[in-house]
């Protein structure tokens, strides 16, 4: 069960499991500076796994950025090699997007 943690401030807000073997997976790209319950062990112990700002920032096995002829490719050049690009916005602001969405959309323009 995928649960976006900023939407559930308390353990009582976490949906119940639909069957006994279901795993709760906490997902959030938000910082604990804004959502302090993400760093609360009493709250996070309700999940079997997590992909949060805290856990993802500690990943050190990312692939190196692609190069061709000794030059690093632009984000747009890399995106254009694929049929799909999954881009997630991590800002909640009216009439505003970050470069994540724009880079994904503009790569399909050519």
Is residue 94 domain-resident?
yes
Do residue 80 and residue 40 come from a single domain? no
Is residue 13 domain-resident?
yes
Instruction: Identify the CA nearest to 15 among candidates 7, 57, 33.
Output: 7
Query: What is the tally of structural domains in the chain?
Result: 2
| CA distance linking residue 107 with residue 100, whole number of Å | 11
Do residue 72 and residue 94 come from a single domain? yes
Do residue 6 and residue 52 come from a single domain? yes
Position 52 scores a pLDDT of: 73
| CA distance linking residue 48 with residue 24, whole number of Å | 6
Q: Where in the sequence is the domain holding 41, given as residue range(s)?
A: 2-56
Do residue 52 and residue 71 come from a single domain? no
Do residue 22 and residue 51 come from a single domain? yes
Position 60 scores a pLDDT of: 52
The SS3 of residue 103 is helix
* Residues β-bridged to residue 71: 68
- This model's pTM is above 0.85: no
Per-residue pLDDT of the chain (110 residues; tens, 9 = 90+): 556 666 666 666 777 778 877 888 877 777 777 777 778 888 888 888 777 766 655 555 556 778 888 898 888 888 888 888 888 776 677 777 778 788 888 887 55
């Amino acid at each position: 069960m995928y649960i976006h943690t900023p939407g559930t401030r308390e353990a009582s807000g976490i949906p119940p499991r639909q069957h006994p073997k279901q795993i709760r997976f906490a997902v959030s790209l938000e910082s604990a500076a804004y959502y302090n319950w993400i760093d609360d062990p009493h709250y996070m112990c309700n999940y079997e796994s997590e992909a949060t700002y805290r856990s993802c920032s500690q990943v050190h096995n990312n692939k190196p950025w692609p190069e061709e002829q000794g030059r690093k490719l632009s984000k747009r050049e890399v995106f254009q090699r694929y049929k799909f690009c999954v881009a997630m916005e991590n800002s909640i602001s009216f009439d505003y997007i970050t470069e994540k969405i724009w880079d994904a959309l503009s790569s399909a323009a050519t």
